[in-house]
Amino acid sequence: MQSRTKIIKSSLVLLLVFPFFFASCLKKVDGVNELNTNIFDREYAGDVWYVIKDIEQITNGIGEIKARLTIWIPSSNLPGLVPSNIKVHTEGDGLPVTVLDFPVKVGGDFETNVDLPYTGVGEYCIKLGIYIEEEDAAINIFESCASL
């Protein structure tokens, strides 16, 4: 009778401990409400995802003077699976809406040059967005300016 009581008590204690053991695994999942960090997400809520790395005055092959902006997309702003090319919707002062290719560079960053019509010394602004080919539309458009 005593051993039976002992077995029953041990079983009940085990039943008591069992949920505690696994309860720690069932915490609230962090980050579910902060899924807005991917620049390819329509609901992206982060900062400007590109950087105007440099601006300079150049003369192109047909003798036009341009303000050349070197646009850089750091790999840290990109998702884990890096595409070989990103299509970027571009608007700028005197520049019609264009879709530019940003090819991947060594190291995983993306970089390209955008030439704007030269208007003298001053500020040049550009708007870039992630272009969605299927919809022919852009998301996450940000404007940045740089001074020449």
Partner 1 sequence: MKALKLLIVTALLTFNGQVGFSQNDNTGMIRFFVNVDNGYFEIEINDTMLLKRYKDTLPAGSYTAKVWSPGYVLNRIEFTIVAGKTVEKHVNMVKNNNFIQYEQDYKAYRMQFHKQFTAPLSLTIASSISTGVFMVNAYNNKKKVLADIELYNLSPVTTEIGEIKLRIAENNKKYNRQRTAFYINSGFTFLMIGGTIWSYLNFNKNYAEPDYTKDSPFKDKFSLNLTPYGCSLALKL
If binding is defined by CB under 8 A, does position 132 make contact with partner 1? yes
Residues across the chain: 148
- Does residue 129 contact residue 138 with C-beta atoms inside 8 Å? yes
Q: Considering only residues 48-77, where is the footprint of partner 1 by CB under 8 A?
A: none
- Which one of the spans 57-65, 79-87, 99-107, 119-127 is the region binding partner 1 (CB under 8 A)? 79-87
Q: State in angstroms the smallest separation of the CB of 81 from partner 1.
A: 5
128 - beta bridge partners?
A: 90, 142
Enter the DSSP assignment of 122.
S
| Location of structure tokens 């704007």 | 116
Q: Cα dist. 63→19, 60, 98, 124 in Å?
A: 77, 5, 22, 20
Report the residue number, 80 or 107, with the smaller CB distance to partner 1. Answer: 80
Q: Which of residues 26-45 bind partner 1 (CB under 8 A)?
A: 26, 28-29, 31-32, 35, 37-38, 40-43
Helix, strand, or coil (residue 20) = helix
CB of 40 to partner 1, least distance (A): 5
- Provide the b/e sequence for 87-107 (b: ≥16 CB within 10 Å): ebbbbbeebeeeeeebebeee
Site string (85-124) toward partner 1, x via CB under 8 A? -x--------------------------------------
Query: What is the spatial distance between Cα 6 and Cα 16, in angstroms, rounded to a whole number?
Result: 15
Q: Is 22 in the site for partner 1 (CB under 8 A)?
A: yes
Interface residue list for partner 1 (CB under 8 A): 5, 8-9, 12, 15-16, 18-19, 22-23, 25-26, 28-29, 31-32, 35, 37-38, 40-43, 78-83, 86, 130, 132, 134, 139
